[in-house]
Structure 1
Amino acid sequence: MLPVESCRPALLLALGLAACSGAGSAPPAEPSSSPTAKPDPADTQPAPAQVDPVAIVAADDRDPADRESDARRKPAELLEFMRLAPGMKVADIGAGFGYTTELLARAVGPTGTVYSQNPTFVLDKFAREGWDARLAKPVNANVVGLEREFGDPFPADIEPLDRVVNVLFYHDFGWMKIDRAAHDADVFAALRPGGTYVIVDSSAAAGHGIADSESLHRVEEALVITELEAAGFTLTSRADFLRDPSDTRDWNALPWRSPERAEAGEFSDKFVLEFTKPGA
């Protein structure tokens, strides 16, 4: 509080007074409360911008075919789980036709970057035309296409990533004979400290490991956790929005390989795991 002395400045804004002007001036009245403390600069920083997953999924310009996939893929829940923000650098491993790639592109916005990775085998087998068309859309102007193998998905000079996601391709690493340790190490190296690798896949029966990779397109959750932790990751979160306890885990999880189940709205039990690279 300012002392009441003559000829001392008295900054009482509410009364519009300036400094006292002479020996005969009356002392200013004291304020009724203590001056407000200066805010900590850290408290004045703007909060990180948040994306609205529901609004992203509801965008009018999304493809009708993508909308048809939403019921079984639950994209709003996935985006929420990934905690995305505008400006992030993220990657989509095994992008296929780019369904997830486009959702990521909408989430990180024009100031962010999405690396959409596909191996040559996937592109030549079924996805090249659809993937090329996807990346040509204006909404995907912030997407960088990477035609690279799963064992070496990123160029050496890639900027540190905030997020990497792998939707329904980790199991394929088994029958494709991918060096999973090399893949996991490459993702680990590409992420910034504190960055996350989110893996979504269809559950195999306990004890099956990756043996059902080609026949049923499934992988055991416990195996994925063991391999990612061996690469240096920490399992930090799980989600249940794609779980189905009634799944017997003994049938082909690909919807087009089990059309009767898909038509009935029956889909495989899927785990959703978040692995974090330790550090600040």
Structure 2
Amino acid sequence: MKSRIAATLLMSAAVASCAIQDAPISTDQYRALLANPIRTDRDRKMDETRRPVELLQFAQVRPGMEVLDMATGGGYTAQLLTLAVGPSGKVWAQAQQPGTVLNERMAAHPQANLVVAKRTFDDPVPPEAAPLDLVTLVLNYHDISYLPVDRDAMNRKIFAALKPGGRYVVIDHSALPGTGISAGKTLHRIEEAFVIAEIRRAGFVLDGEGSFMRNAADTRAESSNQATPPSDKFALRFVKPR
């Protein structure tokens, strides 16, 4: 009898978790997260170009999700995701070598459900994190392209760590067609079609393309760090088939 009750409770918890994750989130609810006082002045300045509400909508972030933010940098995206998944969710902020900005962020406002994961890109997922609902890699795939990283192995490990139906969202500065990864270190850009083909090799299916960071006025001929107007950026959402 006790085992049956325990099984029923576990099933109820699982159903409740799924219901939370499936519940629709309005634009206003996402926008309200931006006013949270733990976000820094630097974050708020970055909002204009980083389009955080559109990012959360595109990634379909829901309360209760478990998320890995790769190449987390100063933690802008990781903390935004943490606010969106709420106390019932969790975010791992992956960094090969956590930097000063990230360390200061974590010290200023510790959050039990935001954890720094010091891991290589070749093996980015903490064992305790899987299975994941979402992996994000924002504006850094191009940097990984010129490092001594086996990206096919990296993407396969991300694929393995995601739940069936889990998503992998990649956003980056767009390079000219046919350039592949050649502009990664020089112009800090990468070709969209190259990224799509590479990630598909791991078993992912392209599920959506976002236009919220596109800029047709960008010639893609200069460094994304100095682009005026701002660089054209592609947003890709991949899914692990069920």
Q: With the length of structure 1 as denominator, give the TM-score of the two structures.
A: 0.75
1:23-80 CA distances to partner (integer Å, 9 max, x unpaired)?
xxxxxxxxxxxxxxxxxxx9xx966444421111233442111100011100010011
The corresponding residue for 2:6 is none
Alignment-mate amino acid for residue 216 of structure 2: P
Deviation at 1:133, TM superposition (A): 1.8
The corresponding residue for 1:92 is 69
Alignment-mate amino acid for residue 273 of structure 1: L
1:94-136 CA distances to partner (integer Å, 9 max, x unpaired)?
000000011001001111110100112xx3xxxx221112223
Q: 2:237 aligned with 1:274, yes or no? A: yes
Superposition map of 1:1-280 within 5 A: 48-51=22-25, 52-120=29-97, 123=98, 128-138=99-109, 140-254=111-225, 258=226, 261=228, 266-279=229-242
Alignment-mate amino acid for residue 196 of structure 1: R
In 2, Cα distance between equivalents of 1:89 and 1:197? 12
C-alpha contact (below 8 Å) 1:216/1:253 kept by paired residues:
yes
What secondary structure sits across from 1:186 in the alignment?
helix
The corresponding residue for 1:25 is none
Shift in alpha-carbon separation, 1:154–1:46, aligned structure 2, 3 A: closer
Deviation at 1:155, TM superposition (A): 2.7
The corresponding residue for 1:24 is none
Q: Percent identity?
A: 42
Gaps of 5+ in 2: 1-14
Alignment-mate amino acid for residue 141 of structure 1: A
1:70-93 CA distances to partner (integer Å, 9 max, x unpaired)?
111000100111111111100100
Bigger-Rg structure (1/2): 1
In 1, Cα distance between equivalents of 2:19 and 2:194? 41
C-alpha contact (below 8 Å) 1:167/1:200 kept by paired residues:
yes
In 2, Cα distance between equivalents of 1:144 and 1:62? 16
| Larger RCO (alpha carbons 8 Å, 6+ apart) | 2
1:156-179 CA distances to partner (integer Å, 9 max, x unpaired)?
343200001000111112211211
Shift in alpha-carbon separation, 1:106–1:49, aligned structure 2, 3 A: same
In 1, Cα distance between equivalents of 2:127 and 2:94? 14
C-alpha contact (below 8 Å) 2:38/2:109 kept by paired residues:
no
Deviation at 1:139, TM superposition (A): 6.1
Deviation at 1:154, TM superposition (A): 1.2
C-alpha contact (below 8 Å) 2:33/2:83 kept by paired residues:
yes
The runs of 4+ residues in structure 1 deviating greater than 4 Å are: none
Alignment-mate amino acid for residue 92 of structure 1: D
In 1, Cα distance between equivalents of 2:37 and 2:75? 18
The corresponding residue for 2:12 is none
In 2, Cα distance between equivalents of 1:246 and 1:58? 31
C-alpha contact (below 8 Å) 1:105/1:139 kept by paired residues:
no
Shift in alpha-carbon separation, 1:162–1:46, aligned structure 2, 3 A: closer
Aligned residue pairs total 222
1:165-223 CA distances to partner (integer Å, 9 max, x unpaired)?
00011111221121110110111011000000000000010000000010000000000
In 2, Cα distance between equivalents of 1:62 and 1:72? 16
Alignment-mate amino acid for residue 64 of structure 1: D
More off after superposition, 234-243 vs 148-157? 148-157
Alignment-mate amino acid for residue 136 of structure 1: A
